[in-house]
């Protein structure tokens, strides 16, 4: 049982940031046509930006975790390839 992704989607289980923190006004520059289309489709820009920023943050943290734990995951996978998993004789699949 190789471990290609040694942790669960941790970001899906807990917030990656303080969701109760107060909002902070900020200025952003957006392509005029993109902004117009978003308005036509009643897209909440603040919510869309927060959602996408959280996704990017989660992706970044997952990549960072993979880099930090790469050696341990590879060592685990080598051990399983060499010695098998403790439950190999018990599984029926």
pLDDT at 46: 95
| Binned average pLDDT, 10 residues per bin, the chain of 93 residues | 47 71 95 98 96 95 96 95 83 70
pLDDT at 26: 94
Element spanning 49, H or E = helix 45-83
């Amino acid at each position: 049982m190789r471990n290609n992704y040694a942790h669960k989607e941790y970001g899906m289980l807990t917030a990656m940031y303080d969701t109760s923190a107060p909002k902070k006004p900020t200025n952003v520059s957006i392509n005029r046509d993109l902004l117009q289309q978003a308005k036509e489709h009643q897209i909440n820009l603040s919510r869309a930006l927060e959602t996408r920023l959280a996704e990017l943050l989660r992706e970044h943290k997952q990549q960072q975790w993979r880099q930090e734990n790469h050696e341990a995951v590879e060592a685990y996978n080598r051990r399983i390839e060499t010695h098998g998993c403790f439950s190999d004789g018990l599984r029926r699949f």
